[in-house]
Amino acid sequence: MTNFVKIFDTTLRDGEQAPGFSMSSGQKLAMAEALEGLRVDVIEAGFAAASPGDFEGIRAIAEMVKDVTVCSLARCNDGDIRASGEAIKPAKHGRIHTFIATSPLHREFKLKMDKDEIVRRAVAGVELARQYTDDVEFSCEDAIRTERDYMKRVCEAVIRAGATTINMPDTVGYTTPEEIEDLFRFLTTEVDGADGVTWSAHCHDDLGLAVANSLAAIRGGARQVECALNGIGERAGNCALEEVVMALRTRKDFFGMDTNIRTEGLYGASKLLAAITGNAVPRNKAIVGKNAFAHESGIHQHGVLANRETYEIMKPEHVGVSTDNLVLGKHSGRAALRNRAEKLGFTLSDNQLQSVFVSFKELADAKKEVFDSDIEALVLGEAVGQAGPWEIESLYVSAGSDENRIPKATVSLRHEDGRTQQHVSEMLGPMNAVFDAISQITDTPMELEHYSVNSVSGGEDAMAEATVRVATEFESYQGRGASTDTVLASALAWLDVINRIERRAVRTGSIAAQH
């Protein structure tokens, strides 16, 4: 059995379909480019039959990506599989991932099918998928709660039909490490044809065990792990890509496994995803959180100063966290900026470099020194800036301590369709006035749940990063904005949410695939 584990990334499918994590087509392309830079083995780019937007998004990624397999999810029915086959056609390496539920609960209450019918559907689905590609993955949805003898029967049938990867999803995050390790030992030794396919694990984090379960599955014989950056996904999320990859790297002495992942790009890809979705990475998040390599305790600081290995099992640079802070200024050129961005884990295309360089020059004129954190904010701002359709044309706020004067905000927004609208709001707080004016122009009523502003770097001319969490009638959204002007950063964060809502509104007819 090989000692290599494939990394199957589902950030753009299972991750993106989770509430509050939607992305525009441009943002999905940016993330796909980052994932290719990480050298993941498979990108599950979406669910082609879900909507025309999903279909086009997968197709665009299939046309762009060259070194990674591009995959589309499909239920075991003709329409889904044919849509997936057409969507991945441009891919240099394409995969169809088809699934059907197998557990007693799903058979009785969701599918209303008997065991024989499910086997027939599974086989027919794999056979049809093979007409489009030789790379076909099959999943037993809710595998963990499926009887083993029946699971064995299904797996053997789809292997005979031509499936090349067999995935066992812990769809509801129910299993334990001991149980899933034993399951994969059973599958890899008892299923006829087991040695001719790749066995895969897809673990959800409902009980906080997704990474532990995925690692246990590897111990049991799984050689593909399905995961997502920052652990995003349905409900409590998926196995976190960065965590399972660094566990395998850091404890190679125990697992004895390798992956293709360029781990130095993990931090940058994580930050990019957080900026695109508006969902910040928690400070205490393993591997990529701000506190992952921070030491406040005096005892810890003393040990780290003597030898970093006393309290660090990984080096920050292994995941792309910069350990120095080279200062750039207004005389720095494109080459220096590109080099610094790459050290921070970001790979910029020529067009992206030009856009970030313009912003960098403007910032360098406004600041004496530009630090790594400033550059990071500019790159992430470029990613968020692709979102549209609204952008700020002008913003003016007046406020003061005079009791007779109510803070007033005058805001002008421009829409991508060419129209420009202005509104003046007076509220009891200056930021309330700004937020209200933007909402009035865009006709998007929202309730502010959380608002924070942080300094990105040090000094009186530091950039500000604002984050907001707001609630609409249906769900919560998060937004982000960055600027040397705190008020503008806050307005950008509020507008970021509105742009997310507008993008979501055009994605009608989506099919929620809980898998």
Helix or strand (DSSP H, E) at 338: helix 334-343
Strand order in the sheet with 420-426: 390-398, 408-415, 420-426
Q: Annotate 96-114 with b (16+ C-beta within 10 A) or e (fewer).
A: bbbbbbbbeebbeeebebe
Strand duo 6-9 + 42-46: pairing:
parallel
User: 365 with 391: CB under 8 angstroms?
Assistant: no
Residue with tokens 């699971």, as numbered in its chain:
151
Q: Which contacts (CB < 8 Å, 24+ apart) does range 353-358 have?
A: 355/382, 356/382
Is 9 annotated in some ligand binding site? no
User: 67 with 96: CB under 8 angstroms?
Assistant: no
Distance, in Å, from the CA atom of 250 to the CA atom of 314, rounded to the nearest integer, reads 7
CB atoms within 10 A of CB 195: 10
Q: Is the dihedral of CA 278, 279, 285, 290 positive or negative?
A: positive
Is 436 annotated in some ligand binding site? no
Distance, in Å, from the CA atom of 484 to the CA atom of 245, rounded to the nearest integer, reads 36
Is 202 annotated in some ligand binding site? yes
Q: Where are the beta strands (DSSP E) in 23-172?
A: 42-46, 69-75, 94-101, 136-141, 165-170
Q: Which contacts (CB < 8 Å, 24+ apart) does range 470-475 have?
A: 470/446, 470/494, 470/497, 471/446, 471/447, 472/444, 472/445, 472/446, 472/447, 472/501, 475/19, 475/20
Distance, in Å, from the CA atom of 107 to the CA atom of 469, rounded to the nearest integer, reads 39
Provide the token pair at 180. 């899933």
Of 124, 132, 224, give the one whose Cα is nearest residue 184.
Answer: 224
DSSP state of 11: I
Is 14 annotated in some ligand binding site? yes
Strand order in the sheet with 464-471: 447-455, 464-471, 476-483
Distance, in Å, from the CA atom of 241 to the CA atom of 227, rounded to the nearest integer, reads 5
Distance, in Å, from the CA atom of 416 to the CA atom of 285, rounded to the nearest integer, reads 37
Question: For residue 104, is the peptide bond before it cis, meaning its omega torsion is within 30 degrees of 0?
Answer: no
C-alpha of 172 from chain center: 20
Q: Is the dihedral of CA 111, 115, 118, 120 positive or negative?
A: negative
User: Cβ-count burial of 180 within 10 angstroms (0-12 exposed, 13-18 middle, 19+ buried)?
Assistant: buried
Binding site as annotated, residues: 14, 202, 204, 238
Binding site as annotated, residues for Mn(2+): 14, 202, 204, 238
